[in-house]
């Protein structure tokens, strides 16, 4: 491993303190894993940037895990781990078939530089992130902790900028299933009682980085609303939903696994791309993209040919 004790600004990596016990609370969700593995299909060598404990890595590829946090790398079970920042990857150009980055870009001090590095070291890039401009927002923000909005706006790059920086040819929505297993903030949109548990809150970098004197009064109000039934009355519509599109997106750039490099199209976004009700579903409950080149399936300023894509929604 490379010797990299501190952040570029001289502070220790944030996840050295908030990442303890990550594997217990942040269990990879099988539906998101299927989507990511589909995007990585055919890649024999993969660099996982901001790898953390190794969630969502394809089991059939040779993976190099990169993370600046030793606490996170210690929880990673793989054999090849490199302590480094996305912004300065210690690999030659096109060293990997694919690069993946899952729920990490918002932690990078210079996302544009990190995304350029992904493109430099790999032929295909697969990035999972959240669009801060998407609505609806989680009730936790609108009803209890509006402070989260400012925090997330400050650290998440707008999706169109991420797509442009990558030259993404495909942007897929991932509506969050009601029983999503990976405990980041959004996982509990239909299970509000989980937010009462400090262990659950600590597993989300949002809560972990907000001051306790802001979080605790909000949690007291949530508990009271759950006890009185007022939360349930206010959000009866959510209790009837199986999944909600809260703005989580998978972006794919570069080659498509057949060695063909797809390019960024300027077609208009598909009308369902910001549909709060989630995408239309076929009879078996799976969202199907249209055949290649007949219509952009999804996009935030990008179009795509979607031959190999089936977006799995819950």
Ligand X SMILES: C[S@@+](CC[C@H](N)C(=O)[O-])C[C@H]1O[C@@H](n2cnc3c(N)ncnc32)[C@H](O)[C@@H]1O
Residues near ligand X (CB under 6 A): 13, 15, 19, 26, 49-52, 55-56, 67-69, 72, 85-87, 102-104, 107-109, 205
- Cα Rg for the chain, rounded, in angstroms? 19
In 115-124, which positions are buried (b, 16+ CB within 10 angstroms) versus exposed (e)?
Answer: bbbbbebbbb
Question: Using CA atoms, how far apart are residues 292 and 44, in angstroms rounded to an integer?
Answer: 25
DSSP string, 261-306: B-----PPPPGGGG-TT-----TTS---PPSTTTS--S-SS-----
Q: Which of 74, 207, 49, 199 is nearest to 128 (CA)?
A: 49
Residue closest to ligand X, measured at CB: 52
Nearer to ligand X, 106 or 270 (CB): 106
Pairing of β 122-130 and β 248-254? antiparallel
Alpha carbon separation from 263 to 174, 178, 199, 267 (Å, rounded): 22, 34, 43, 12
Residue in this structure with the two tokens 């989300």, named with its chain if needed: 204
In the bound complex, what is the minimum distance in angstroms from residue 227's beta carbon to ligand X? 32
In the bound complex, what is the minimum distance in angstroms from residue 229's beta carbon to ligand X? 34
DSSP string, 117-163: HHHHHEEEEEEEEE-TT-SSPPHIIIII-THHHHHHHHHSPPHHHHH
Nearer to ligand X, 81 or 262 (CB): 81
Structure tokens at 57: 């890595």
CA angle 58, 125, 109 (to 5 degrees): 105
Question: Using CA atoms, how far apart are residues 294 and 312, in angstroms rounded to an integer?
Answer: 20
Nearer to ligand X, 87 or 256 (CB): 87
In the bound complex, what is the minimum distance in angstroms from residue 50's beta carbon to ligand X? 3
In the bound complex, what is the minimum distance in angstroms from residue 22's beta carbon to ligand X? 7
Nearer to ligand X, 38 or 55 (CB): 55
Other C-beta atoms within 10 Å of 205: how many?
Answer: 19
In the bound complex, what is the minimum distance in angstroms from residue 198's beta carbon to ligand X? 18
Nearer to ligand X, 118 or 222 (CB): 118
In the bound complex, what is the minimum distance in angstroms from residue 105's beta carbon to ligand X? 9
Nearer to ligand X, 16 or 225 (CB): 16
In the bound complex, what is the minimum distance in angstroms from residue 204's beta carbon to ligand X? 9
Nearer to ligand X, 19 or 177 (CB): 19
In the bound complex, what is the minimum distance in angstroms from residue 48's beta carbon to ligand X? 7
Nearer to ligand X, 64 or 69 (CB): 69
3-state secondary structure of 182: strand
């Amino acid at each position: 491993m490379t010797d990299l004790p501190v952040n570029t600004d001289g502070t220790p990596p944030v996840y050295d303190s908030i990442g303890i016990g990550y594997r217990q609370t942040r269990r990879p969700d099988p539906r998101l894993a299927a989507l990511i593995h589909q995007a990585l299909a055919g890649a024999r060598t993969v660099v996982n940037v901001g790898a953390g404990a190794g969630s969502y890595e394809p089991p059939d590829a040779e993976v190099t895990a990169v993370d600046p946090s030793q606490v996170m790398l210690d929880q990673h079970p793989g054999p090849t781990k490199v302590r480094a920042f996305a912004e300065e990857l210690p690999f030659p150009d096109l060293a990997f078939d694919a690069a993946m980055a899952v729920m990490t870009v918002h932690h990078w001090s210079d996302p544009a530089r990190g995304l350029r590095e992904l493109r430099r070291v790999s032929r295909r890039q697969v990035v999972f992130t959240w669009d801060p401009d998407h609505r609806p927002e989680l009730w936790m923000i609108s009803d209890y902790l509006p402070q989260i909005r400012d925090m997330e706006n400050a650290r998440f790059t707008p999706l169109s900028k991420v797509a442009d920086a990558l030259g993404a040819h495909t942007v897929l929505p991932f509506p969050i299933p009601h029983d999503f297993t990976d405990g980041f903030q959004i996982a509990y949109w239909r299970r509000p009682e989980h937010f009462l548990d400090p262990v659950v809150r600590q597993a989300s970098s949002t809560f972990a980085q907000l001051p306790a004197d802001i979080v605790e009064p909000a949690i007291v109000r949530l508990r009271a609303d759950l006890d009185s039934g007022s939360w349930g009355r206010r959000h009866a519509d959510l209790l009837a939903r199986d999944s909600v599109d809260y703005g989580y997106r998978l972006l794919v750039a570069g080659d498509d696994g057949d060695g063909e490099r797809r390019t960024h199209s300027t077609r208009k976004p598909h009308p369902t791309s910001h549909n709060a009700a989630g995408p239309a579903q076929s009879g078996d409950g799976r969202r199907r993209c249209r055949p290649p080149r007949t219509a952009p399936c999804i996009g935030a300023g990008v179009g795509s040919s979607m031959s190999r894509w089936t977006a799995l929604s819950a």
